[in-house]
Amino acid sequence: MVAKLLVGISLSLFAVSCTAQVAPATSHPPLSTSLGGGMNFFSGDWGNGDINRWGPSAWGTVTVWHDLSVIGEGHSMIIGGNSQASGYKYFSGSGGLVYTSDYWGRFQPLFKGEAGYASLTHPPNGSGYLHQGNNIWKVGGGVEYHTWGQWWTHVEYDYDFFPNFHSTITNENHSLNPRGFIFGESYRFGPSGSRF
């Protein structure tokens, strides 16, 4: 009887010690962070769409659950363009959620949606004002490519919704849609930053 009990206990211990320890695989551990910066080239959606300007961009993310992160970023349109562009300056700051998918080789696609605030200085439009600030919405998508170590090359396309802008053509308020490309480098902190 004692022998059977000892065999049963030893089999139980052996079975417990051999159970699989499986953790779910995630692309980003919770609370991993990244910071990035670069340039953007946006079209200002003004008149015939001839307002095309450059500006600096900066962004940061904190992964909160699996491949879902909180993002905060800022963009501007302040450099270059034609003669009409000299009176057009656009600054935006926004935050929201970004989904970064699994790896495709060294590439990771990303998709995002954000809300924020933008400041627009513009040529005369018949409203009597040359400046307007508004809450905005933003959608975008792109890729990050693992360049080296913790560094990732970042390329994306953003589309902004700047509501309640007065049009001299229709004499009504409508939405402007500044849009364009953002490119630069991201630095991913922690051990997962160099993994692909």
For the chain, how long is the longest CA-to-CA vector? 99
Q: What is the pLDDT of residues 28-40, one digit of tens each?
A: 556 789 999 999 9
How many domains is the chain partitioned into structurally? 1
Question: CA triplet 169, 48, 161: central angle to 5 degrees?
Answer: 80
Query: What is the domain extent for residue 89?
Result: 32-194
Is the pLDDT reported for residue 116 higher than 60?
Answer: yes
Of the pLDDT bands very low, low, confident and very high (cuts 50, 70, 90), residue 49 is low
1 lies in a domain? Answer: no
Q: What is the pLDDT of residues 77-113, one digit of tens each?
A: 999 887 777 788 999 999 999 999 887 888 999 999 9
Q: What is the pLDDT of residues 145-190, one digit of tens each?
A: 999 999 999 999 999 999 988 776 677 788 889 999 999 999 999 8
46 lies in a domain? Answer: yes
103 lies in a domain? Answer: yes
* Sign of the torsion formed by the C-alpha atoms of 179, 153, 54 and 90: positive
61 lies in a domain? Answer: yes
Radius of gyration, alpha carbons of the chain:
25
Which pTM was predicted? 0.78
Per-residue CA distances from 63 to 35, 122, 175 (Å):
12, 37, 32
Neighbouring residues of 176: CB distance < 8 A, sequence distance ≥ 6:
44, 45, 46, 120, 160, 162, 165
Question: CA triplet 127, 133, 137: central angle to 5 degrees?
Answer: 120
17 lies in a domain? Answer: no
Q: What is the CATH number of the domain that holds 113?
A: 2.40.160.20
101 lies in a domain? Answer: yes
20 lies in a domain? Answer: no
**Which amino acid, 141?**
G
